[in-house]
């Protein structure tokens, strides 16, 4: 196995990796439950993906192929930095293709291309506690989870409807996992929430600074919180991608001048590039 | 036409080359050696050792140089290094009563066994910016050796009289916050560990707030002692503990009033502060915050910010705090886009209704 001389494979020492794997097993066994763990200082700052990096470091092996995305793109600077980190400390092959990756570490997006069995999606999570804006005290939120008392969140969504006529949560929309635990999907856009439901891939969530790991095993029910008369609505900009023409993908709005000019392009750069290549091949 | 943001890797490499150049400064001037930092910017090194929770002057000095003097960045560098080091054991509890003292001050007694030792302090210096500082070395300062055996702890003197609450001795294994998440509610050993590496500015502000009425605190510096304490470890090879060296420490015991409760007579209570290096301000501020966090123990109302355990302990760590505050400069345009679309949709709903 290759890595950096003087450091363990994938940076973390073996004892720490064992601790992380035990935590991950517990997390998988209790879908949606936040398992505390002894997060280490990483050589990247807290808040910049240290939870996801620790999870990836604990599960990665020399035969893995790693993809790292931030905002759906392989080219954003922090994704570049994390990909380079694992190339360096784990000597691992990296890819930008969703279909080729065995592990995908992500911040804020789920790829458009459906994931398959055997793949692992690792989310970087800033605030693992879905209730934190309503109840900042951890001792109290732990009690609420134990009692499955999620009335606070239901009331908040209800208040949105009363005030705005619709649920005003555009991202980080809370989900119920396996009918038991309320979970933060990490700040992915609500558009991505339905992709979590019964996903064939394993979903792992790492929050380094907050020292929590949680998981959604393959084919687990993940239901966005809503009301019968106000069903959950995934939101996307009502346009087609200016580069590949996709009308089903999540779009970023790009300002092209200072007089209102704008275009919409796919946030998932691999999805967009693959579609553009297919279109060129067809022409 | 829009061109996708590419070339992150080259941009990062170029930015880091620029950082390297900026860090070096004017090449006509000699580079500062870590030994100079370790030997002359000693209190900066002390702070980095405390907040980096690693007592190693050389490593802290290297970190300060690498961080361009940004002490939080330096603490972060030191922590990220220390976390990779193997753990080969735990020392015995430090015997700070037997510290080799260079400074020892009590505000509660005019004189006391062992005497008051001012030591190398800024106290009573007139803060006149020394514009001739570069001119020559000072002559050696006169000094008399202190006798540690003759300087018992002030709080111990009070406790013998029954006027100071005694701390319960415990053989329970303390938690190790560098290996385990912070338990909530936190036992005092976990709180003290957290505060000992907490941000000095944060501790200072919280401690200050308890003096200004946010928290019921009437503290006296029972004792402030600064010096070196021996570190002893137990090894399988020897039947006795082995002294492996000394570490620099600042320790503060604050004496606080307590009016008594149903279960306890009126007596003094203490707040405790301990810091790697000679971080006197840090140790004092920590002692104030420690006492404030003991509100439950003494049946006091927890009303002030410094008394809120979760608030204090979960926001004291500047490595965590700086990471999360600074992460806001990372791209967030995916979330922002969903907010934009949501806002447009809600406004459309509103306009349609009107």
The answer to whether residue A255 scores a pLDDT higher than 60 is yes
Hey, is the C-beta of B348 within 8 angstroms of any chain A C-beta?
A: no
B4 contacts in chain A (CB < 8 Å): 73, 75, 265, 269
- Do B100 and B66 lie in a common domain? no
- Residue A223 class from Cβ within 10 Å (0-12 exposed, 13-18 middle, 19+ buried)? middle
DSSP A111: -
Mean pLDDT of chain A: 94
**What's the rounded mean pLDDT across residues B292-298?**
92
Q: How far apart are CA B328 and CA B323, in angstroms?
A: 9
B36–chain A Cβ distance below 8 A for any pair: no
CA distance A269 to chain B (A): 9
Nearest to A70 among B82, B319, B331 (CB): B331
C-alpha B202/C-alpha B281 separation (Å) is: 12
CB B99 within 8 A of CB B278: no
| Distance separating alpha carbons of residues B264 and B168, to the nearest angstrom | 14
Q: Collect all residues with Cβ–Cβ distance below 8 Å to A112 and sequence separation of at least 6.
A: A98, A246, A248, A249, A250, A266, A268, A271
Q: In this structure, are strands A175-177 and A65-70 parallel, antiparallel, or unpaired?
A: unpaired
Of B134 and B307, the one with more pLDDT: B307
| pLDDT > 80? residue B226 | yes
User: Using 50, 70 and 90 to split pLDDT, how confident is the model at A122?
Assistant: very high
φ, ψ of residue A55 in degrees (nearest 5) = -65, -50
Q: Specify if B4 maps to a domain.
A: no
- Please return the burial class of A115, using the count of CB atoms within 10 Å of its CB with bins 0-12, 13-18 and 19+: buried
Residue A36 and residue A27 in contact, taking contact as beta carbons nearer than 8 Å:
no
Beta bridge partners of A8: A11
Residue A7, pLDDT > 80, answer no
Q: For residue B341, what is the nearest residue in chain A, using CA coordinates?
A: A237
pLDDT band at residue A189 under the 50/70/90 scheme = very high
Domain co-membership, B342 together with B221: no
Cross-chain residue pair A170–B5, CB shorter than 8 Å? no
pLDDT at A3: 63
pLDDT for the residue numbered B167: 85
Q: Is the pLDDT of residue B274 over 50?
A: yes
Question: What whole-number percentage of chain A has pLDDT above 70?
Answer: 99
C-alpha to C-alpha distance for A145 and A212, rounded to whole angstroms: 14
pLDDT of residue B7: 59
Helix (H) or strand (E) segment spanning residue A278? helix A269-282
pLDDT confidence bin for B208, thresholds 50/70/90: very high
Chain B neighbors of A76, CB-CB under 8 A? 5, 8, 331
**pLDDT number for residue A226:** 95
**Residues B207, B282 within the same domain:** yes
Q: What is the pLDDT of residues B296-342, one digit of tens each?
A: 988 888 999 999 999 999 999 999 999 999 999 988 888 888 888 88
The closest of A153, A132, A121, A141 to A224, measured between CA atoms, is A153
Residue at token pair 């001795």? B169
Kindly provide the ipTM of the predicted complex, given to two decimals. Answer: 0.88
Between B133 and A231, name the one with better pLDDT: A231
| Structure confidence at residue B3 as a pLDDT band (50, 70, 90) | very low
Which residue, A48, A55, A72, A70, is CA-closest to A20?
A: A55
Q: Does B248 share its domain with B330?
A: no
Q: Into how many domains does chain B fold? A: 3
Percent of chain A with pLDDT strictly greater than 90: 84
A209: which 2 tokens? 């600074």
Residues 6 or more apart in contact with residue B308 via CB below 8 angstroms: B302
Q: Is A136 on the interface with B (CB under 8 A)?
A: yes
Residue B131 located in a structural domain:
no
Is the predicted pLDDT of residue B2 greater than 60, yes or no? Answer: no
- How far is B52 from B192, CA to CA, in rounded Å? 15
Instruction: Find where tokens 């502060």 sit.
Output: B273
CA nearest to B47, candidates B62, B29, B28, B64: B64
Closest CA to A188 of A209, A199, A177, A173: A173
For residue B1, the model assigns a pLDDT of 36
Classify residue B134: in a domain, yes or no.
Answer: no
Q: Do B291 and B249 have their domain in common?
A: yes
Residue B129 lies in a domain: no
Whether pLDDT at A2 is above 60: no
Chain A residue with minimal CA distance to B330?
A78
> Chains A and B: how many Cβ contacts under 8 Å?
150
Decide if B341 and A236 are in contact by the 8 Å CB cutoff.
Answer: yes
- Mean pLDDT within A257-272: 93
Query: Across residues B155-173, what is the average pLDDT?
Result: 86
Model pLDDT for residues A14-36, shown as the tens digit of each residue: 889 999 999 999 999 999 999 99
Q: Which amino acids of A are annotated catalytic?
A: 32, 241, 244, 266, 272
Residue B312 and residue B196 share a domain: yes
Domain match, B274 and B349 both? no
A38, exposed or middle or buried, with CB in 10 Å at 0-12, 13-18, 19+?
A: middle
Same domain, B153 and B278: yes
Q: Which residues contact B259 (CB under 8 A, 6 or more apart)?
A: B266
B89 assigned to some structural domain:
no
Using 50, 70 and 90 to split pLDDT, how confident is the model at A1?
Answer: very low
Q: Between residues 121 and 180 of chain B, which touch chain A (CB distance below 8 Å)?
A: 178-180
Q: How would you classify the pairing of strands A262-266 and A65-70?
A: unpaired
Phi-psi region of A280 (alpha: psi -120 to 50; beta: other; left: phi over 0): alpha
Q: Which domain holds residue B211?
A: 96-119+145-167+179-316
Rounded mean pLDDT of chain B? 90
CB distance B214 to B311 below 8 Å: no
| Separation CA B284–CA B287 (nearest Å) | 5
For β-strands A120-124 and A35-36, DSSP reports them as unpaired
Q: Pick from A103-117, B98-112, B151-165, B175-189 the range whose average pLDDT is largest.
A: A103-117
What CA–CA distances, in Å, run from A171 to A154, A187, B159, B248? 16, 6, 57, 49
How buried is B236 (Cβ within 10 angstroms: 0-12 exposed, 13-18 middle, 19+ buried)?
Answer: exposed
**B192 and B61 inside one domain:** no
Residues B252 and B158 grouped into a single domain: yes
Query: What are the phi and psi torsion angles at B163 (to 5°)?
Result: -95, -10
**CB contact B82 to A (< 8 Å):** yes
| Structure tokens belonging to residue B190 | 């976990």
Same domain, B216 and B328: no
A 80-109 near B (Cβ less than 8 A): 80-81, 84, 107-109
- Chain B residues with CB under 8 Å of A276 CB are none
Final residue in a domain of this structure, among B53, B82, B111: B82
Residue B61 sits in the same domain as residue B41:
yes
**Model confidence over A193-249: pLDDT tens digits?**
999 999 999 999 999 999 999 999 999 999 999 999 999 988 889 999 999 999 999
With an 8 Å Cβ cutoff, are A189 and B338 in contact? yes
Q: Residue A45: is its pLDDT beyond 80?
A: yes
Assess if residue B87 is contained within a domain: no
């Amino acid at each position: 196995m290759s890595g950096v001389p003087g450091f363990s494979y994938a940076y973390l020492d073996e004892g720490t990796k064992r601790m992380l794997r035990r935590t991950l097993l517990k997390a998988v066994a209790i879908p949606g439950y936040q398992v505390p763990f002894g997060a280490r200082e990483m050589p990247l700052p807290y808040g910049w993906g240290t939870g996801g990096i620790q999870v990836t470091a604990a599960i990665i092996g020399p035969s893995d192929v790693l993809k790292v995305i931030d905002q759906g793109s392989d080219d954003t600077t922090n994704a570049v930095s994390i990909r380079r980190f694992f190339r360096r400390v784990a000597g691992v092959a990296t890819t930008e293709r969703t279909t080729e990756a065995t592990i995908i570490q992500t911040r804020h997006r789920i790829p458009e291309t459906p994931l398959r069995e055997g793949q692992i999606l690792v989310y970087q999570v800033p605030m693992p506690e879905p209730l934190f804006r309503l109840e900042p005290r951890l001792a109290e939120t732990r009690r609420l989870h134990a009692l499955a008392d999620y009335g606070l969140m239901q009331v908040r969504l209800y208040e949105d409807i009363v005030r705005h006529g619709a649920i005003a949560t555009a991202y980080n929309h809370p989900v119920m996992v396996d009918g038991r635990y309320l979970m933060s999907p990490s700040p992915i856009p609500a558009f991505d929430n339905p992709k979590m439901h019964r996903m064939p891939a394993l979903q792992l969530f790492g929050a380094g600074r907050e020292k929590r790991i949680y998981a959604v095993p393959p084919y687990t029910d993940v239901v966005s919180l809503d009301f019968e008369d106000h069903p959950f609505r995934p939101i996307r900009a009502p346009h087609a991608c200016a580069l590949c023409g996709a009308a089903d993908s999540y779009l970023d709005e790009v300002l092209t001048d200072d007089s209102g000019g704008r275009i919409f392009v796919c946030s998932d750069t691999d999805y967009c590039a693959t579609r553009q290549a297919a279109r060129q091949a067809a022409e | 036409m829009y061109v996708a943001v590419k070339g992150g890797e080259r941009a990062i490499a170029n930015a880091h080359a620029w950082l390297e150049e900026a860090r070096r400064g004017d090449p006509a001037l000699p580079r500062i050696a870590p030994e100079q930092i370790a030997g002359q910017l000693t209190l900066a090194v002390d702070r980095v050792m405390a907040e980096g929770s690693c007592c190693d002057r050389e490593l802290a000095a290297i970190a300060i140089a690498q961080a361009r003097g940004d002490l939080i960045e330096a603490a972060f560098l030191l922590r990220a290094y220390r976390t990779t080091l193997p753990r080969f054991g735990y020392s015995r509890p430090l015997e700070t009563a037997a510290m080799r003292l260079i400074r020892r001050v009590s505000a509660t007694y005019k004189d006391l066994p062992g005497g008051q030792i001012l030591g190398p302090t800024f106290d009573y210096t007139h803060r006149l910016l020394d514009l001739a500082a570069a001119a020559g070395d000072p002559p050696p300062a006169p000094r008399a050796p202190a006798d540690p055996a003759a300087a018992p702890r002030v709080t111990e003197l009070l406790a013998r009289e029954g006027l100071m609450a005694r701390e319960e001795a415990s053989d329970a294994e303390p938690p190790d916050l560098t290996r385990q998440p912070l338990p909530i509610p936190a036992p005092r050993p976990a709180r003290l560990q957290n505060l000992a590496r907490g941000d000095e500015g944060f501790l200072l502000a919280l401690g200050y707030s308890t003096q200004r009425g946010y928290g019921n605190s009437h503290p006296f510096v029972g004792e402030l002692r600064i010096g070196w304490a021996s570190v002893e470890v137990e090894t399988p090879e020897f039947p006795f503990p082995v002294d492996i060296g000394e570490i620099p420490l600042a320790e503060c015991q604050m004496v606080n009033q307590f009016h008594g409760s149903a279960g306890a007579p009126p007596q003094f209570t203490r707040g405790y502060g301990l810091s790697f290096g000679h971080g006197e301000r840090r140790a004092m501020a920590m002692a104030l915050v420690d006492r404030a966090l003991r509100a439950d123990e003494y049946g006091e109302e927890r009303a002030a910010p410094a008394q809120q355990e979760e608030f204090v302990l979960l926001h004291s760590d500047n490595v965590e705090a700086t990471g999360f505050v600074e992460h806001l400069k990372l791209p967030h345009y995916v979330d922002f886009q969903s907010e934009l679309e949501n806002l447009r949709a809600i406004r459309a709903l509103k306009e349609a209704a009107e």
